[in-house]
Amino acid sequence: MSILDGLTIILILAAMSFVSFRAAKKSVTTDDYFTAHRNLNRIQAGFSMAATDIGGNSVAGAVAFAYGTGLGGVWYNWSAVIPLLILAFILARQIRSFNVNSVPELLGKRYNEASRLLATITQLLAMGVSLGGQFTVAATTITTIFGLSHPVAVMISVALLLMLTVRGGLLAVVNSDRVMFLIICLSVVIAIPVCMSAGNGWENISQSLPDEYLDISSQGILLPLSLGLLFMFDYATQQSYLQRVFSAKDVSTAKFAYIFTGFVYIVFGLAVAFLGVLAYVLLPDLNDNKLAYATMIKEYMPVGVKGLVLGGLFAAAMSSADSKIIAASFLFINDIYKPYIRKGRAISDRRLLRISRLTTACICIIGIVVSMVSNSFIQIMYTVGLSYGTAVFIPMFAAIYWKRGTAAGALTSMVSSIVIGLYFEYHVYGKVCGLIGMIPSNLVAVAVSLISFVVVSLLTKEKQ
């Protein structure tokens, strides 16, 4: 790598660090640290939610998927559009009206403390697993740049991430996300024409592709449906997204965050899928799909541009990971430490901040372990969804829209969804012949969750 590329990456990191440092000066109390004064404007909420979701998986993972499937890989990201637009209108206003700060708190308020505790623990574990995917993308970028081993690159990624988040809290994350969002978009916009030129133009590229690689419907209906459900459950229940909803200055700003992110994905999803198709032509003998984007950047980007585009990939991973870290810290404080350990007793902001930073370290350890042992972005996404989002989705919406739901119904629904969903994913889906082996695991899990919730709620007494 040239000196100019190295300097470009350093400038990107310096810009993110500067924004984070400035925000840290405004985070005096724990309320400032975790909710950014509850005064996020549209630019902050919209750009931050988009940057949070357009993480390493949405860039490197989507390019890797399209490398193996063609333009039909656009559904890796397009499946998120409809869920985002739906949730803008059926969730943002409704969940803010309950005066809660998290989904587990809502479940505890509506059902019982056991529901709250189960939802909190499963979400913390799910966040740790999801972080593993982001660490893998960030580490892949560092490995591509400097040739370091994966374990060393992961540790460097974690160190840089902690530097961006620990001091400033949510406001630092939101403001640095704005910078990272622009860098991500700019890097993708630049990469497409450069790679097309490297492939000697579209006419030559199209002749090098199998016919099915340009078929946008090549993935059928089941995969987009399954991914759409996965995204719906995630966006509706994950604290890393909902923290923008709870911290927005008003309902219209919370809605805007979902709508803006949905429309961004229409263009962004097509762009990164197209990069995957270009990678298939430029790197036909690649052994590991997940390295497609980073390798294409390394081999074909000119001096100066290479640093910007690699910096964009690194920013994508960091923009998602920083939100998960701050959300995990808040969940532990809000839904475990205060209600169960302190039991409502007063505690200083200084001590709460120390505890939140310890929580950050523990969550990062889970992410590091996952990054070391898992090579599949999609598998990480599904495991996270089945462990938390799918299980909590039905009880959460019932808490908002169905008064007849009971605590027994919520607990039964959550436990049965997790157990059956994970069993189906690892022992049935794709492993059993016939129709049953073709049904997506999250579809099975949410069906089990819905049926068990309704049946048990109708058989037990309504909470008074």
Residue 392, in any domain of the structure: no
Ranges of H-type helices in 333-440: 349-373, 377-384, 390-401, 407-427
Q: Are 79 and 227 in contact (CB under 8 A)?
A: yes
pLDDT grade, residue 369 (50/70/90)? confident
Q: Is the Cα torsion angle 152, 157, 160, 162 positive or negative in sign?
A: negative
- CB-count exposure of residue 155 (10 Å: 0-12, 13-18, 19+): middle
Q: What is the pLDDT of residues 294-347, one digit of tens each?
A: 888 888 888 878 888 877 777 777 777 888 888 888 899 999 999 998 887 888
Per-residue model confidence (pLDDT) at position 370: 81
Instruction: Please indicate, yes or no, whether residues 164 and 209 belong to a single structural domain of this protein.
Output: yes
Q: What is the pLDDT of residues 388-414, one digit of tens each?
A: 888 899 999 999 999 899 999 999 999
**Considering the chain, what is the average pLDDT of its residues?**
85
Residue 386, in any domain of the structure: no
Which of 325, 360, 375 is the C-terminal boundary of a domain? 375
Instruction: Please indicate, yes or no, whether residues 135 and 25 belong to a single structural domain of this protein.
Output: yes
Residue 188, in any domain of the structure: yes
Domain that holds residue 336: 3-375
Angstrom distances, CA of residue 323 to CA of 217, 254, 273, 275: 33, 16, 25, 26
Locate tokens 């024409």: which residue?
Answer: 193
Tokens of 2: 């040239």
Name the domain count of the chain: 2
Average pLDDT over residues 369-391: 68
Q: Which residue has the higher pLDDT, 279 or 431?
A: 279
Residue 430, in any domain of the structure: yes
State which amino acid sits at residue 437.
G
Q: Are 145 and 69 in contact (CB under 8 A)?
A: no
Of the candidates 48, 21, 32, 60, the one whose C-alpha atom is nearest the C-alpha of residue 381 is 60
Instruction: Please indicate, yes or no, whether residues 352 and 444 belong to a single structural domain of this protein.
Output: no
pTM of structure: 0.84
Instruction: Please indicate, yes or no, whether residues 342 and 450 belong to a single structural domain of this protein.
Output: no
Residue 333, in any domain of the structure: yes
Neighbouring CB atoms inside 10 A of 259's CB total 17
pLDDT grade, residue 433 (50/70/90)? confident
pLDDT grade, residue 3 (50/70/90)? confident
Of the candidates 245, 246, 261, 232, the one whose C-alpha atom is nearest the C-alpha of residue 389 is 232
Instruction: Please indicate, yes or no, whether residues 419 and 366 belong to a single structural domain of this protein.
Output: no
Tokens of 153: 């690159």
Q: Are 170 and 101 in contact (CB under 8 A)?
A: no
User: What three-state secondary structure class fits 40?
Assistant: strand
Instruction: Please indicate, yes or no, whether residues 198 and 296 belong to a single structural domain of this protein.
Output: yes
pLDDT at 374 over 60: yes
Instruction: Please indicate, yes or no, whether residues 141 and 191 belong to a single structural domain of this protein.
Output: yes
pLDDT at 195 over 80: yes
> What's the CATH number where 199 sits?
1.20.1730.10
Residue 397, in any domain of the structure: no
CA distance 415 to 394: 12
Instruction: Please indicate, yes or no, whether residues 342 and 408 belong to a single structural domain of this protein.
Output: no
- Measured at the CA of 403, the angle between CA 400 and CA 405, to 5 degrees, comes to 95
Instruction: Please indicate, yes or no, whether residues 456 and 317 belong to a single structural domain of this protein.
Output: no
Instruction: Please indicate, yes or no, whether residues 461 and 318 belong to a single structural domain of this protein.
Output: no
Contacts of 413 (CB under 8 A, 6+ apart): 391, 394, 395, 449, 450, 452, 453, 456
Angstrom distances, CA of residue 171 to CA of 232, 233, 247, 252, 326: 26, 25, 10, 19, 10
Q: Which residue has the higher pLDDT, 379 or 145?
A: 145
Residue 387, in any domain of the structure: no
CA distance 459 to 442: 26
Annotate 232-256 with b (16+ C-beta within 10 A) or e (fewer).
Answer: bbbbbbbbbbbbbbbbbbeeebbbb
Instruction: Please indicate, yes or no, whether residues 415 and 266 belong to a single structural domain of this protein.
Output: no
Residue 174, in any domain of the structure: yes
Tokens of 208: 């090098």
Instruction: Please indicate, yes or no, whether residues 343 and 436 belong to a single structural domain of this protein.
Output: no
Beta strands in 105-170, from DSSP E residues, in sequence order: none
Per-residue model confidence (pLDDT) at position 462: 63
Give the DSSP per-residue string, 241-278: HHHHHHHBSSHHHHHHHHHHHHHHHHHHHHHHHHHHHH
Of the candidates 171, 177, 166, the one whose C-alpha atom is nearest the C-alpha of residue 40 is 171
